[in-house]
Amino acid sequence: MNKTIFFICVIGALIVSSLSVAQEYDPYTLPGFHKYQQGRLGSRQQARVNEMQKKYPDGYAVPGPLSYAGGDFKSWQDKFYAEFVSLSGLNEKEIASKAKRFSQAWIFPFDFSGGKKNILNKLLKPMKEGPLRQAYDETGEYDCKSEDARGRPLYSDYYPPRYKAAKDHIELFSCRSDHEGIRVYKVGYTGFEGHKISAYLFVPNNAKNAFYQQAKGKVPTLIYYHGHESTKEDAAFNPKSYVRGIAYHAALNGFLVLAPDVRGFGESKHEENHQAIADRLHRQGSHFLAAAAMDAIYAQDFLENANLREFGLKYRIDENFNAIGGVSMGGLISLMAGALDKRFEVVSMQGIFLGYEVLFSKFHCPCSKMPRLLDQANIFDVALLVTPRTLHVGMGAKDPFYNNYAKSAIEMFAYDLTEAGYPICYGRNDESGLGFLRNMSVRDKFQAGVECPLVLEIDKEASHEVIGYGYQFHLFWHDYLSKLSTKGFR
């Protein structure tokens, strides 16, 4: 009996001990977490922690031992990249050797059966249910544009699109002037570790309303990811979701767009859901976001290796015009993919630039946890790996995720960039939401001729949703690349 009581006490002590350790990762018990970091940071990093503690007493993002501490920025990037790959359980050679990543691909027919139970029937209308909008009114003004003055999609103009079904794809039409529709294919390809990924591929029609006109036989690309509790249908067609159906909008403006289901979601869910995948990867020393980011790298391989003529496009992709973006979980995936693969010239993340303390806590989906990385660094360090390419961060001021953990993480990132000699830019909306960065010495409006590794937009009226340049990838490219050449833009 005494032995039984003894073992119960020992087990109870172990449980209490484990809970106290776990508490140190709880963002709402900050003293425990900061005590955990004491003695592990350099003097500069500790000074920044002390500054953040005064500015954000309710919580803030904390650097780690591997965080940038000044000095030679490129040398730090090279060293941290290797550590980042290792802490994510990935292989640096596999990331670099795209020739060895053979991806099988398939085209699937669209299925509109099932009536209202089929999500496609809720989001798309057959051509017979017109009419399409008249492209020009009696004054000659263009009446079927894709956005308003602030760059937000005019859903009344182009949504819902009417579809015309073909053998292996559908064509989407919004305006009477669209003699050729946006061709959409349902495709599949093998991702990381052979996982089968389902996606929609949007092929632009080079219509007059396309902002980007294909030049020299090339077309820009965009891979766009949905968020948690969402699917590729939201990213592709649904303007009422917080993903806003951005894929169709980008295709209207001339992009070749791939909108995949994240592994474990939608039609990319097979034997395991996303949480089961995350649990398995944790046991293997990796994590869910690392595998999903590798899927994004495989997605770019798919676009580069695809015979675009099979999809009705006589152009090839422009190797200098590759973008990746997403909202919420999709933004985290995009950031990791952009940090791992330099082919992505612009990375956009919406509503999710938070200190990993929150993302890895019990208040967020466990699929986002990367405990090995949290021990050593934070989200702003991963973002620095995108530099000097451009990272777009967009958040709504009414978003619950726009809190001190977001503001402090953004400020840490901006502080590192200015110390490394890079400018910080604000987007087209306005700068009124960026008051917490007033102490930054270098800040410009993002426009032609200004190279910015951070383009920041805080929409005072938005919540957890796509905002700003997230709507306007075509304008993003215009501002980013028109300093190099005006060819291809109208």
The pLDDT, as a whole number, for residue 72 is 95
pLDDT of residue 429: 60
pLDDT in tens, 16-44: 333 333 333 344 344 334 434 545 677 77
Q: Write down the pLDDT at residue 341.
A: 95
Fold exhibited by the domain 94-481: Rossmann fold (3.40.50)
Instruction: Delimit the domains of the chain by residue range.
Output: 94-481
Q: What is the pLDDT of residues 157-189, one digit of tens each?
A: 677 888 999 989 999 988 776 778 899 999 999
The pLDDT of residue 58 = 74
- The whole-number pLDDT of residue 449 equals 63
Per-residue pLDDT of the chain (490 residues; tens, 9 = 90+): 454 444 444 334 333 333 333 333 344 344 334 434 545 677 777 787 788 888 887 778 888 889 998 899 999 999 999 999 999 989 888 888 765 666 788 999 999 999 989 999 999 989 887 666 665 555 555 556 667 766 677 766 677 888 999 989 999 988 776 778 899 999 999 998 888 999 999 998 765 445 555 556 788 899 999 998 889 999 999 888 888 889 998 888 888 999 999 988 888 877 777 777 777 777 777 788 889 999 999 999 999 988 888 898 887 888 878 999 999 999 999 999 999 999 999 999 999 998 887 766 655 566 777 777 877 899 999 999 999 999 999 999 899 888 888 999 999 999 899 889 888 888 766 555 666 676 564 567 776 666 788 989 888 888 999 888 888 877 777 666 554 443 333 2
SS3 labels along the chain: CHHHHHHHHHHHHHHHHHHHHHHCCCCCCHHHHHHHHCCCCCHHHHHHHHHHHHHCCCCCCCCCCCCCCCCCHHHHHHHHHHHHHHHCCCCHHHHHCHHHCCCCEEEECCCCCCHHHCHHHHHCEEHHHCCCECCECCCCCECCCCECCCCCECHHHHCCCEEEECCCCEEEECECCCCCCEEEEEEEEECHHHCEEEEEEEECCCCCCCCECCECCEEEEEEEECCCCCCHHHHHHCCCCCCCCHHHHHHHCCCEEEEECCCCCHHHCCCCCHHHHHHHHHHCCCCHHHHHHHHHHHHHHHHHHCCHHHHCCCCEEEEEEEEEEEECHHHHHHHHHHHHCCCCCEEEEECCCCCHHHHCCCCCCHHHCCHHHHCCCCHHHHHHCCCCCEEEEEEECCCCCCCHHHHHHHHHHHHHHHHCCCCEEECCCCCCCCHHHCCCCCEEECCCCCCCCEEEEEECCCCCCCCHHHCCHHHHHHHHHCCCCCCCEC
| pLDDT given for residue 27 in this prediction | 40
